[in-house]
Amino acid sequence: MANAALDPHAAIATTASGAPDRLTTADGRPLVRALARSQSKARRRAFLLVAPLLAFILITFVVPIGQMLQRSFHNDGFSANMPQISAWFAETPAGTVPDDAAWTALAADLTASAEARSIGVVGTRINYDLAGSRSLFTSTGRKVRRGIEPPYRDALLEMDEDWGDPQLWSAMRGASSAVTGNFYLAAVDRTRDEAGKIVQVEENRRIYVTLFWRTFWLSGLITALTFVLGFPIAHLLATLPMRKSNLLMILVLLPFWTSLLVRTTSWMVLLQQQGVINDILVWLGIIGDGQRLQMIYNQTGTIIAMTHILLPFMILPLYSVMRTINPSYVRAARSLGATSWTAFRRIYFPQTLPGLGAGAMLVFILAVGYYITPALVGGSSGQLISNMIAMHMTDTLNWSMAAALAALLLGAVLALYWLYDRLVGVDNLKLG
């Protein structure tokens, strides 16, 4: 051992035979394993250090979100409580006219479900697909508990003729399997007709696709506006002397530290028809008292308030990148013969791209999921998809629908992120 330890070549001695020579340590163990062992303790300690955070994220973030997203394609409200008719749907192809076996199974399920007081859950599930059908189930439930005699088809039709509606049967078929893509179809304004074909919903019920487009279009517009407004400010911050730029920085950050609600409310005060800005315009005689501008409770309100709220997210990454750009680059460009515009366009601006990319990603992703501000100042034309998700969460209690919409939104954002990575490269992002 002593000799081996003294021999400087021992540590990199290779096995005498064998084609791919493996490096070994002085005492003959493979180098790779020795390295892993020597680092394992440090690695264990490092893991222990992050373990609390990991557990926290798993419990409060990954699991609930996973559960929520699961609802978008899994809902057993109908299938668990109506097993016999679900089995009949499973055996027959889509569009099959319900036969005696189907009516018998339906009557049996309805009776059982009414006895178990789960008929409301069943009705709610069908109601998601066919509005107004919850009451059909509950009222029929009350009636079958008083007794139902064969032939079941006639008996049920007598209780309510809606039972003969092919759309109802199509909706029940859709709900008969716990795992379903129907919520995703609904989230893009599609549904299945009686024959099981995917078709668009009626014109007046198509809302989600429009809302998705509006969300992305408004988010893009807000991102562009924050860029136009934020770029000069970030440049000013980065080039002013430290004392002045610190003061300006506080002005940038001040709204950041103010409650979101306060900021949104102050926009209401400013922008409403009897608000400060309209009053000033009327007082200056620019507009007449009868022509007060509608600047809030519509898309304009959403754009103004969200641009203001998201502006720091654009300014800060831009600023942090601009501060590192040495002024000598622009000077060099100027001395090489470039006009100030060319120097800006070809030398300065390209170097701000990592900050711009980071800022644009931040603002866009935040804007896509924004909820409170559009809800407060958006009126009806300024609502975004997140407001619809919130509505399904709190009002209609159709969590599956909310989850499907959220999953689509998440998917779209991830797709954009992927696209960004392909085009620009995520390594080029600089947040600070």
Partner 1 sequence: MLDDRNGDAFVAFEHVQKSYDGQTLVVKDLNLAIGKGEFLTMLGPSGSGKTTCLMMLAGFETATHGDIRLDGRPINQVPPHKRGIGMVFQNYALFPHMTVGENLSFPLEVRGMTKAEREGRIKRALDMVQMGSFANRRPAQLSGGQQQRIALARALVFDPELVLMDEPLGALDKQLREHMQFEIKQLHEDLGITVVYVTHDQGEALTMSDRIAVFNDGRIQQLAPPAQLYEAPENSFVAGFIGENNALAGVIEDLQGDKALVRLDGGGLIDATAVNIREKGQRTTVSIRPERVEFKPEMMSPDAHTIEARVLDVVYMGDILRARLSVAGSDNFVIKMRNTIGQTRLQPGQHIRIGWHPQDARALDPV
Give the residue with the Cβ less far from partner 1, 202 or 427.
427
Q: Which two tokens stand for residue 185?
A: 């179809």
**Taking the alpha carbons of 197, 202, 208, 214 in that order, is the dihedral positive or negative?**
positive
CB of residue 189 to partner 1, shortest distance in Å:
44
> Interaction with partner 1 in 348-387: which residues (CB under 8 A)?
350-351
Per CB under 8 A, 239 contacts partner 1: no
Interface with partner 1 (CB under 8 A), residue from 56, 213, 217, 329: 329
At closest approach, how far in Å is the CB of 346 from partner 1? Answer: 7
Please tell me the count of residues contacting partner 1 according to CB under 8 A.
19
**Cβ 183 vs Cβ 404: under 8 Å:** yes
- Shortest Cβ 345–partner 1 spacing (Å): 11
Contact between 205 and partner 1 (CB under 8 A)?
Answer: no
Q: Is 332 a residue that touches partner 1 (CB under 8 A)?
A: yes
Beta bridge partners of 74: 179
Q: 47 vs 329, which CB is nearer to partner 1? A: 329
Tokens (6 digits) for 392: 């399904």
Nearer to partner 1, 244 or 331 (CB): 331
Nearest to 210 by CA among 87, 388, 61: 388
Per-residue mark of binding to partner 1, 334-353 (x: CB under 8 A): xxxxxxx-xx--xx--xx--
In 114-262 the beta strands, taken as DSSP E runs, fall at: 190-192, 198-200
Q: Which of 3, 259, 274, 326 contacts partner 1 by CB under 8 A?
A: 326
Token pair for residue 177?
A: 């399997």
**Nearer of residues 256 and 348 to partner 1, judged by Cβ:** 348
In the bound state with partner 1, the residue whose beta carbon lies nearer, of 213 and 349, is 349
Q: Give the angle subtended at the CA of 185 by the CAs of 62 and 210, to the nearest 5°.
A: 95
Q: State the minimum distance, in angstroms, from the CB of residue 361 to partner 1.
A: 19
Choose the stretch contacting partner 1; rule: CB under 8 A; options: 78-86, 221-229, 269-277, 323-331.
323-331
Stretch of 31-39, 298-306, 309-317, 333-341 lying at the interface with partner 1 (CB under 8 A): 333-341
Question: Contact, 159 vs 149, CB < 8 A?
Answer: no
Task: Give the residue with the Cβ less far from partner 1, 157 or 325.
Answer: 325
The neighbouring-strand residues paired with 24 are 30
Cis previous bond, 151, omega within 30: yes
Q: How far apart are CA 403 and CA 174, in angstroms?
A: 18
Which residues are within 8 A (CB) of 146 and not within 5 positions of it... i.e. 6 or more apart? Answer: none
Q: Which is nearer to partner 1, 136 or 347 (CB)?
A: 347
The minimum distance between CB 342 and partner 1, in angstroms, equals 6
Rounded to the nearest whole angstrom, what is the least distance from the CB of residue 319 to partner 1 in the complex?
19
Comparison of 26 and 240: residue with beta carbon closer to partner 1: 240
| From 47-55, 243-251, 269-277, 326-334, span contacting partner 1 (CB under 8 A) | 326-334
- Closest approach of partner 1 to the CB of residue 343, in Å: 8
Q: Which is nearer to partner 1, 148 or 347 (CB)?
A: 347
Q: N- to C-terminal Cα distance for the chain?
A: 52
DSSP class of residue 57? H
- CA–CA distance, 261 with 263 (Å, rounded to integer): 5
Pick the closer one to partner 1 by CB: 30 or 350: 350
| Distance in angstroms (rounded) separating the CA atoms of residues 388 and 369 | 11
**Smallest distance, Å, CB 352 to partner 1?**
10
Residue 3's nearest CA partner among 21, 29, 27, 31 is: 27
Q: How far apart are CA 302 and CA 419, in angstroms?
A: 27
Is the Cα torsion angle 375, 377, 378, 380 positive or negative in sign? positive
Shortest distance in whole angstroms from residue 334 CB to partner 1: 4
- What does each C-alpha distance from 320 to 350, 351, 377 come to in angstroms? 15, 12, 32
DSSP-based three-state secondary structure for 218: helix
Binding site for partner 1 (CB under 8 A): 326, 328-329, 331-340, 342-343, 346-347, 350-351
